[in-house]
Amino acid sequence: MSGEDISVLLDEKRIFKPKEELVNQTNVKQWMDIHDIKDDKELYKKAGNWEWFWEEISKDLVEWYEPYKKVVEWKVPYVKWFVGAKYNIVHDAVDKHVKTWRKNKVAFIFEGEPGDVKKITYNDLYIEVNKLANSLKKLGVKKGDRVGIYLPMILELPIAMLACAKIGAIHSVVFSGFSAIAFRDRVNDCDAKVVITCDGFWRRGTKVYLKQQADEALENAPSVKHCVVVKRTGDGIPWTPSRDVWWHDLVFNSPKECETERLDANDPLYFLYTSGTTGKPKGIIHAHGGYAVGTAYTLNWVFDMKDTDIWWCAADIGWVTGHSYIVYAPLILGATSVLYEGAPNWPQPDRWWEIIERYNVTLLYTSPTSIRLFMKYGEDWVKKHDLSTLRLLGSVGEPINPEAWIWYYKYIGNENCPIMDTWWQTETGHFVISPLPITPLKPGSASHPLPGLAADVINEEGKPVQNAGGNLVITHPWPGMLRGIHKAPERYEKTYWSKFKGLYLAGDVTRKDSDNYFWIQGRADDVLKISGHRIGNSEVESALVSHPLVAEAAVIGKPHSLKGESISSFVVLKKGVEPSDSLRIKLQQHVSNELGKIAKPDEIWFVSDVPKTRSGKIMRRVIRAKALGEEVGDISTLANPEAVDEIGKAV
């Protein structure tokens, strides 16, 4: 990013205020009443004493084996939270519930893509976790060892994570859509002793043979001694008798009780690798104690989790969203969660709405990419189902276009469900910037840093900026923050802490408006420079998506002899809309009307899809390389690699 501020062209004025009856019943309002806090302004002010705030919050959420001596120890850029406490996150996620009425409460409702359903109670979960934990010990896994997990969205995935954590092992989950090479790189970087995979799984009506990919990865993974295999499809698979063992055989005679390892609160819980746009994946380290407090607090307050709720975080556990908000935080809060194996639009575009209706889902958390996918199919698929049980909605993964926000609010929430638009990262561990259910909402804005957290927008000189784009920074430590990068302390310090002393650099371009609402504009390396003006790609994309015929858009800059860069747009139209030259001209004029002539796209190409990561982020780097005829690089981690070829054909 250069020293210039980034122009702000999008002017979103709509505000949606929360209903009073909702506000009065929220968890945050109840907490405020207990602490004699009269309004949200006073709440944020009191939470500015963040050590006090996190001490108070932790009392409600976790049970320490031994109490901490100090809330936080901060030596830039390294932190320890709840220093001196003895703890294990599995105690709060599983163990404590079997001593209460929640013992027989459903923890997970699993639905496979073929339609098979299984419900597992907290007591069932406790037994299965213990059996696998004992089995891993039998395989020689001990405290501090790493276990690589390569599984789809099946019940064995959270069980495996919890079993590792229970005995003090560190799990490293790799998304099941990643290639064998990507899995191998991560297994080798973390020196996994054991890996856990499955024979295969279903995706869009076909079987994905995951064990074959795992075998390819393990051809050159010398640290791996055992491969535990879940039988999901039941098909024949290649087998290495000296290494491979079936999960069901391994746990068959394992004891149903296993003592939970009493760890230091700052012992590592997991490594999770970010794929990034370039370079070697980073093994982000998260620890037990602070992460437990941060994730549970944010879910409890932002989504107002009640004992009667049915929670569906429709992400994949292979990403941090799934780690934090499918596995750990919901279990700590004793929630019932939906776990779905398959694609959102299989066999028809209303699969999600069927699931919500069938299980009476009350809280839905998904990505803007998914919302735009459903927008493309149209609202008729939604109207076939009763979604009246929903009371709160959420967005994660990237900035949500205001028009996608409105569609989500209108058709999924029936204009009755506030949308919690959350900003956070693999590195932060939990939400950082997000509305609360008591917050007036602006479509497209993630609102404010949550109580107890602090962020700002600063320019290249480190000075705060308002109503202009700048660098998003976090200004003091937070409980779920990363503890480093595995095997790469220099990279950790350089990437996040070297640019602005004592401040965490998020890498996102952001603006703060006159009401101090934060608007995430995209990654710092995704900024267009047009005739001396710096414009966020996401603003132009949002303007395109605001047209009623457009479902999705990706915008890149191409070198231009006069303007520096020209704007090239790749547009996905809604189902049934035919591309034409006249529509292209209309869309160019639409952007010009929305943002000004400076942002009018020079080119608009119509495509059926744009390249995205498995977590739903548009891969502008790949699009730009393909459009310019450059080397695209490894695309094995894309959700839709076929979209890359379409970009090439379009231009």
Domain residue spans in the chain? 526-650
State the Cα–Cα distance between residues 609 and 237, nearest whole angstrom: 33
State the Cα–Cα distance between residues 78 and 483, nearest whole angstrom: 7
State the Cα–Cα distance between residues 80 and 266, nearest whole angstrom: 6
What is the CB-side half-sphere exposure of residue 128 using CA atoms within 13 A?
18
pTM of the entire predicted model: 0.88
Each residue's pLDDT tens digit, 239-296: 999 999 999 999 999 999 999 999 999 999 999 998 654 457 899 999 999 999 999 9
Contacts 24+ apart (CB under 8 A), 178-183: 178/318, 178/614, 178/636, 178/637, 179/213, 179/636, 179/637, 180/213, 180/214, 180/216, 180/217, 181/217, 181/634, 181/636, 182/275, 182/281, 182/636, 182/637, 183/148, 183/150, 183/213, 183/214, 183/217
Q: What SS3 class is residue 650?
A: helix
Sign of CA dihedral 99, 105, 110, 115: positive
State the Cα–Cα distance between residues 405 and 421, nearest whole angstrom: 9
Q: How many residues does the chain have?
A: 651
pLDDT score at 633: 78
Distances, alpha carbon 334 to alpha carbons 163, 308, 538, in Å = 18, 10, 37
**End-to-end alpha carbon distance in the chain:** 28
Torsion of CA 159, 131, 249, 116, to 10 degrees: -40
Report the relative pairing of strands 244-246 and 117-121 from DSSP bridges. unpaired
Find the mean pLDDT for residues 447-461: 97
Angle made by CA atoms 74, 479, 70, in degrees to the nearest 5: 55
State the Cα–Cα distance between residues 232 and 218, nearest whole angstrom: 20
Nearest residue to 93 via CA among 326, 441, 255, 371? 326
pLDDT score at 386: 98
pLDDT tops 70 at residue 534: no
pLDDT-derived band at 631 (thresholds 50, 70, 90) equals confident
State the Cα–Cα distance between residues 490 and 74, nearest whole angstrom: 18
pLDDT score at 4: 55
Angle made by CA atoms 191, 193, 198, in degrees to the nearest 5: 110
Each residue's pLDDT tens digit, 355-413: 999 999 999 999 998 998 999 999 999 999 999 999 999 999 888 989 999 999 999 99
* Strand ranges inside 204-275, DSSP E: 206-208, 226-230, 244-246, 263-264, 268-274
Which of the pair, 341 or 565, is modelled with greater confidence? 341
Each residue's pLDDT tens digit, 112-135: 999 999 999 999 999 999 999 999
pLDDT-derived band at 2 (thresholds 50, 70, 90) equals very low
pLDDT score at 616: 74
In the block, which residue shows the tokens 């699931």? 355
pLDDT-derived band at 635 (thresholds 50, 70, 90) equals confident
Q: What SS3 class is residue 371?
A: helix
- Say yes or no: domain 526-650 is CATH 3.40.50.1820: no
pLDDT score at 3: 46
